[in-house]
Amino acid sequence: MIRLNNIHKSYEMGSSSLHVLKGIDLHIEQGDFVSIMGSSGSGKSTLLNILGMLDNYDNGTYHLSGNLIANMSEKKAAKLRNEMVGFVFQSFNLISFKNAMENVALPLYYKGVPRKKRNLIALEYLEKLGLKEWANHMPNEMSGGQKQRVAIARALISQPKIILADEPTGALDSANSYEVMDILKEINDDGITVIIVTHEHDIAAMTSQIIRLNDGRIHEIIRNGELKKFQKSYIHGLETA
């Protein structure tokens, strides 16, 4: 599904250049539920942007569903994004002057789906996420959890293969965070690959694979048995708190 091979990325900051990713090798299968962890500056968001084709990489190769993603025109990238990837952001990033339904329907607009049809589909997705009554509300009339659910509906509407979530719970309280994670789990159960970036251990513990980044390199990948241990310690810690 996703195959990264020795990915390098550096940012030009005036005269100096900041080497953010220093050779990432990664292999994610269809249907995985992956979290990327790391301290700030470790390159986790940059990695996510490259995965989502929002940013270019300098060296290495990135294959998505067997296609090499490199030197694409903006237009092609936009099309591929629209087809393959759904984004969920920390700050929700809903369009403030559109109501919930219109926000959800927006990706279909770019695909050229007629208004009535896309609004109908948008309503379906809102219903799935329990927000049908909020369809005509503006983003500023909704709580953080509701906004994030609208954003997830928007990410899902174009039926992507991958959901990329950048700190999806970063701006939410724990109750809402768990709700959002439950939704992402359900999405994953439907066979969609979900990749989240987070720095919260309890959130990471709900995924099936944890990739720890450190200073632009993969420090460790936690799965299976080790994951159990990880989950035990963090979920336990949470319960006692």
Query: Considering the rule CB under 8 A, would residue 111 count as an interface residue with other proteins?
Result: yes
Query: Do 164 and 87 touch, CB atoms closer than 8 A?
Result: yes
Query: Considering the rule CB under 8 A, would residue 10 count as an interface residue with other proteins?
Result: no
Member of 38, 52, 145, 168 binding other proteins (CB under 8 A):
52
| Binding-site size, other proteins (CB under 8 A) | 32
Q: What is the largest CA-CA distance in the chain?
A: 53
Question: Cβ closer to other proteins: 112 or 225?
Answer: 112
Query: Considering the rule CB under 8 A, would residue 158 count as an interface residue with other proteins?
Result: yes
Query: Considering the rule CB under 8 A, would residue 95 count as an interface residue with other proteins?
Result: yes
**Cα dihedral: 213, 217, 219, 222 (round 10):** 60
Query: Considering the rule CB under 8 A, would residue 79 count as an interface residue with other proteins?
Result: yes
Member of 18, 68, 70, 78 binding other proteins (CB under 8 A):
78
Helical spans, DSSP H, in the chain: 44-51, 74-84, 100-111, 115-128, 144-157, 174-189, 201-204, 224-240
Member of 70, 97, 141, 226 binding other proteins (CB under 8 A):
97
Query: Considering the rule CB under 8 A, would residue 171 count as an interface residue with other proteins?
Result: no
CA distances from 169 to 19, 99, 156, 209, 215 (A): 28, 22, 17, 18, 23
Helix (H, G, I), strand (E, B) or coil at 141: helix
Query: Considering the rule CB under 8 A, would residue 70 count as an interface residue with other proteins?
Result: no
Distance separating alpha carbons of residues 229 and 221, to the nearest angstrom: 13
Query: Considering the rule CB under 8 A, would residue 132 count as an interface residue with other proteins?
Result: no
Member of 40, 71, 96, 224 binding other proteins (CB under 8 A):
96
Distance separating alpha carbons of residues 135 and 44, to the nearest angstrom: 33
Member of 58, 109, 124, 232 binding other proteins (CB under 8 A):
109
CA distances from 225 to 49, 228, 232 (A): 30, 5, 11
Query: Considering the rule CB under 8 A, would residue 55 count as an interface residue with other proteins?
Result: yes
Nearest alpha-carbon partner for 217 in 38, 1, 32, 3:
38
Helix (H, G, I), strand (E, B) or coil at 200: coil
Query: Considering the rule CB under 8 A, would residue 74 count as an interface residue with other proteins?
Result: yes
Nearest alpha-carbon partner for 213 in 36, 67, 51, 8:
36
Q: Interface with other proteins by CB under 8 A: which range of 1-9, 52-60, 128-136, 197-205?
A: 52-60
Query: Considering the rule CB under 8 A, would residue 178 count as an interface residue with other proteins?
Result: no
Q: What residues from 214 to 233 belong to the interface with other proteins (CB under 8 A)? A: none
CB of 153 to other proteins, least distance (A): 12
Taking each helix axis from N to C end, the angle separating 100-111 and 144-157, rounded to the nearest 10 degrees, works out to: 20
Tell me which residues touch other proteins (CB under 8 A). 49, 52, 54-55, 74-75, 78-79, 81-83, 86-87, 89, 91, 93-98, 102, 106-107, 109-111, 114-115, 154-155, 158
